[in-house]
Structure formats: structure tokens, C-alpha cells
Amino acid sequence: MNFSDKIIWITGASSGIGEALAIEWSTYKPTLILSGRNTEKLETVKTRCEQKGANCLVIPLDITIRESIDGAAEKIFSTFDRVDILVNNSGISQRSLAIETPIEVDRKIMETNFFGAVAITKKVLPSMSKNKFGHIVVISSIVGKFGFPVRTAYSASKHALQGFFESLRAEMVSDNIRVTIVSPGRIHTNISINSVDKDGNKYGVMDPGQAKGMPADVCAKKIIRAVRKYKKDILVGRSELLMAYIRKFLPVLYYKMSSKIKPV
């Protein structure tokens, strides 16, 4: 796929994998739409991307608010006639046991990680269908492949993404709309720091495994390579990815291992 003539909308573009994707994609000189809640950080990312040759537009967005999604889509389609690639990257993780977590926190995580991605996707699907072209990239998680302690709602939201977008892929084949589901493992970002605790507050701690994870720019390169090759489903990470294969091929061993993991 040639990215230079593409319009790419990235949510959660102010930091982490989203920021890394924006910067890496900039080398192909596409048009980038950068969305997220932190406008100041988005402007910083925009400057870096433009230095690399991309044409950038910052559209602030809170994916938990329907009016914000509607407004962002309206601004985009009043400026461009299409979105070629949508990257559903916005999300929030969790560090709390199910027994101590109020349902309101579970709903917050689902609203952010699942319903937000679905809502934005439904904003771009009509134009993609009309143009008979589009590519939707979904940043899920390795725990979208199996359950993991202190990630109950987070894991559920990522499982939901997997089910929705696999089904969508099958529905949109005739319209030439592709879907790439990305399941990262431990990537060195602030995802654990920005996770919510049992009270819905910021967790504020960098997980040791996260600190030693794959650099975000390396992850971004792998994702972009997968999009170029129209990959349907990829795992990105290091040795932690072994758990996904153990869960798939040796489930009994997985159950024993997961029950011995100490919640953090």
C-alpha cells in the first residue's frame, strides 16, 4: 500500500503507540489527523510529524462523549472527502480486582475501549463504503486473547473489540474495507501509569514488565508493516506473546499458569 496519498486518522495520538504511529507514518508523507484529549501534546506531535513531511490536522476528541465524536467527524468531513485509514488506538487499562471494582469503573473502561472505537468506526464506514476502499486498524491487546488478573474489564473490552471487528471485516469484504487487529504485549508506554485503579483514579505506577517492554517506535514499525501487507490479525511484543500460544494450544497449562500469577 502506498501511504503518501492516504488520509490517516489516529485516535489517542498524543502519546504511546498512537504518537509513535503518527511519527513513523510521517516518513511516508501522508495526511494525518491527530486526535486525543490533550491538545497541547497533540500540537507537539503535529510539529514533529510535519518536520518529517506529513500534512497534519489536530482534532481534539474525547471518545467517551458522543457529541465530541460527532463534532470531530463533522470537522474532518468538512475538510476532507474521506478517511482512508482509521486507527482506533484510544484506550485505558486497569489495575484492580473485580471484587473490589465498582461497576461504574467497568463501564468507563468499556465506554473508552470498546464503544468509543465502534462509534468512531461507524462515522467513517459510510464514506469508505462509498469509495470502495478503507482500512481500519484496531489496537487491541494480548489480553484480548486470554484473561489476566487485575485486568477483568480491560480484557473484556479487548475481547469485545476482537469479536466486533472480526465480524465487521466479514461484512465489509465486498466494499474492499480491510481490518487489521493488533494485539500488543508489553510495549514501553505509560499505559500502566495511566491505568485506573479500583476507584477509577489514575494508578500512577509503571509496571516493571512495561518498563522493559518493546520500544513504542519498534511496535509502530511492525504495525505499519502489517497494514501495508493487509494483515488481518497480529501479535506485537516479545516473550510475553508465548502466553497467547499456550492459551491456544495448551489450555490446561495456561489455566495453571494464570492461576499462579500474583495480582499487582
Rounded Cα–Cα distance for residues 150 and 32 (Å) = 35
Q: Which of 154, 203, 245, 254 is catalytic?
A: 154
Of 218, 262, 207, 210, nearest to 240 by C-alpha is 210
Catalytic residue check, 203: no
Which residues have CB under 8 Å from 142's CB, separation 6+? 183, 184, 185, 235, 237, 240, 241, 243, 244
Of 126, 224, 237, 155, nearest to 189 by C-alpha is 237
| Cα angle, residue 189 at apex, residues 188 and 194 outer, rounded to 5° | 140
The DSSP bridge partners found for residue 169 are none
Confirm if 212 and 237 have CB atoms less than 8 A apart. no
Active-site annotation, residues? 154
